[in-house]
Chain A
Amino acid sequence: MVEEFLKIRNVSKSYAGVQALDKVSMSIGKGEIHCLVGENGSGKSTLIKIITGVVKPDEGEIIINDKTFKHLRPIDSISEGIQVIYQDLSLFPNLSVAENISLNQLIEEKRRLINWKDIKDIAEKELSNIKREIDLDERVENLSIANKQLVAICRALIQNAKLIIMDEPTTAITKKEIDYLLSVILDLKKRGISTLFVSHKLSEVLQVAEKVTVLRDGKKVGDYNADELDYDTLSFYMSGKKIVSSAFSYEEKPGQKAMLEVKNLSKKGDFKNINFQLKPGEIVGLIGPLGSGRTELALSLFGLNKPDSGEIYVDGSLVRIDSPQKAINLGLSYLPEDRLNQGLFLRQSIQNNLVVTILKKLLDRFKLLSYERKYKYAKEWVDRLNINTPSLEVAAQALSGGNQQRVVLAKWLATNPKIFILDSPTVGIDIASKNNIHNVIKQLAKEGMGIIMISDEIPEVVRNCNRIMVMIDGSIVKEVKAVDITEDELFDILSSSQKR
């Protein structure tokens, strides 16, 4: 029996009548690697805030190291060894590695003067404790994300961390970097330090986590051993719904020509010798880890990343796509991966977001913007994609992730594309909305659109595409029909080729 570091007993919290947490209990053992999962709004962040003492629970108790706290304050939580590493890591990009690691400690000691030897000594000692090396004088902004995470972990350890809570640590890093992070976590485990991952991106974390606690609508669904879970059961626990996703069926019509063909496309450092075809009505999955060149390839097709060599044919004729404008004119659309930064004007109304791609169509006979037409167009798309909003005037940032993604989709669909490139269309969206968006995509394909779907989630491509291309280190290493491959086989291809 593992000794317990943290126990939470029957903790409840409500905000303005909304029950954010309802009698939740969980425990984390010493040296345990635990994962807390749940969709947005399930109460994950409230629970973390309670553990760190930032939010006071309405009832229930928190037991750390056999000490029972009725009113846990942030300072108690820190002095008991609980440290949070936020998603943005909270590092100082302009300062050296050594200073980033040591600064918090010096602030805590209330030092007024700085001794640079101390700073280096503290950092050096902690790095050697976790048996890793980073150049102490390097500025943090020049480090890889994996090393930045390492710096953040070191900083937490210096403050005597017994439990490190990592908030969505794997969202922006490559497979290799995740492996590196996990190896560090395993080393910490040997020292008796526990880790709590908070995540909704599961596949990687499930490999290393021992225990998983699932939250849904403020209630605990259950505690599970990680090895008894798979993607489907976990999705079910998280969403509470059995999602029935029908596989995508594509029937090739004889004699149909490719609408998009890429021949020997190369760009130094991004991808090399890419060849593929896309026919009307197809959904082609492009799967590969972050950094495999998949996004760069998509950008090249959309005129945002000039390739060095190779040819692109649209409807059989050779084209040069050197700007997004040209791509749009050729009937291409691109749904960017980073929806918040590249796909939406967050503070603008839904209406304005929806029509931004088709403003030319909305002009009246005086070449001025017609508000009537604008409203009509926006209304039409909100209805067609089931965007759930009280009004068209609501700012885009007020919508849930799933609805935001539908706004972005609608915005591009309004341009009437023939070829639609979707980069990670369901990242960060809850499971029910995911399914809804998948159905929209399949419907579009049935209507004759050609779709390229970029993803790093295996089930997503296997269940929604008719053909799958696997991209590793800038090359397409395998191309296969979706019906000819299982999710496990695809997983093996992806992980084996990465170890090379």
Chain B
Amino acid sequence: MMTNNKNFRIQRIFAQNESYLLLIIIAYSIFVTFLNPSFLSPGNLFNLSKSSASMGVLAIGVFVVLLSGGIDISFTAIAISGQYIAVNVLIASGVDNIFFAFLISCLVGVGLGAINGLLVSYFKIPTLIVTLGTLNVFHGLLLTVVGTKAVNSAQLPDCFKAFGATNVFTLTGPDGVNYGLSIFTVIFITVALLTWFILKYTMLGRGIYAIGGDVEAAERAGLNVARIKFFIYCYVGILAGIAGIIHVSLIRYSNPTYLVGTELSVIAPVVLGGTRITGGVGTVIGTILGVAMITLLNNSLILIGLSSFWQEFFTGLIVAISVSLSSYQSRRSVAI
């Protein structure tokens, strides 16, 4: 009986998408290291974790929406709005403070997210239609009302540049080059932990899973579905605001036409991480692994010497394959 139980548990671990993904990541890393030994250097790894942080924060937001059975594609417009408005306010007001920048960006994010939330939860409009519309509305408003001029590195307030260079700790490699754990990575991990806690240990989080499983059953069980949905879109807005600031601090350049158009490359890691596109199933760990896999892939394409245009191709391919795979799996399990 005991061994039976144990076997069962081991089987369950292996049945999980995450473990497959982890194995693939490890195998792929070994493969790339053979082709280019500099890949596995601590410097490159720390760099990757820094440059993928803003995608990671956005992916966590997308993950929560997908979990609830919805989809949000307006998050890129929200992120760039938060970023560009924050940068402009800082320049205009002369306040050179990164916390102030985060505050403004997150306020913009939560405001725009609330508009999505309102349309989705109270007017019950399908989420794809809502966010497809608001993506263009938000971005269009930003470009016409706030402006189209890019802010270059020289004009950018110093706090962004300082923030981008902040490491929690710094090490010096044998070749004399400095590397370290960026504050970006810490923010990403904090966001991931917070989201994990909300989803696992609060009624709100279980409500998100419940809605993704069966909305009607959730309503009958007494969950306030409208309120939960409203929270979700506001939460995505805040995360987009955070990601916007990380993004500008990384590239030291704020262009209001950036980010929009990259929705799929953020949705890809979430789907790859095992989140069901129809909702209800998925984990934070899976999403983190998905982000790691996509980052790895993009980075290795460059290391191997393929043109970066291939990134787009592979991102699309990965979404197509992982969605078909999970749909095939669920159909097979129904057949049994």
Contacts and interface: CB of A to CB of B under 8 A. Distances in A.
B280 A103 contact: no
B203 A112 contact: yes
Q: Which interface residue of B8, B200, B203, B223 has the most chain A CB atoms within 10 A?
A: B203
Contacts of A90: 214, 216-217, 220-221
Interface string B105-138: 0000000000000000000000000000000000
A92 B213 contact: yes
Given A104-B222, A107-B223, A142-B333, A92 B200 contact: no
Given A92-B209, A95-B210, A107 B201 contact: no
Contacts of A86: 220
Interface in B205-236: 205-206, 209-210, 212-214, 216-218, 220-223
A93 B201 contact: no
A167 interface: no
Contact of A95 (B204, B213, B222): B213
A94 interface: yes
Contact of B222 (A91, A94, A108, A141): A108
Interface residues of B, number: 26
B201 A92 contact: no
B281 interface: yes
A2 interface: no
B214 A103 contact: no
Contacts of A94: 209, 212-213, 276, 279-281
A460 interface: no
Given A103-B210, A104-B222, A91 B202 contact: no
Contacts, number: 61
Contact of B221 (A88, A107, A141, A142): A107
B203 A93 contact: no
B115 to A, nearest CB: 27
Contact of B218 (A88, A92, A137, A141): A92
Contacts of A16: none
A99 interface: yes
Interface string A131-164: 0000101000110000000000000000000000
A92 B206 CA distance: 11
Interface string A81-118: 00000101011111100010001101110011110000
A91 B223 contact: no
A300 B30 CA distance: 49
B224 to A, nearest CB: 10
A77 to B, nearest CB: 14
A85 to B, nearest CB: 11
Nearest to A106: B203
A103 B216 contact: no
A154 to B, nearest CB: 14
Contacts of B217: 88, 90-92
Nearest to B199: A114
Contacts of B201: 113-114
30 contacts: A88-B216, A90-B216, A90-B217, A90-B221, A91-B214, A92-B209, A92-B213, A93-B213, A93-B280, A94-B209, A94-B212, A94-B213, A94-B279, A94-B281, A95-B206, A95-B280, A103-B206, A103-B221, A104-B221, A106-B203, A107-B203, A107-B221, A111-B203, A112-B204, A113-B201, A114-B201, A114-B203, A114-B206, A135-B8, A142-B333
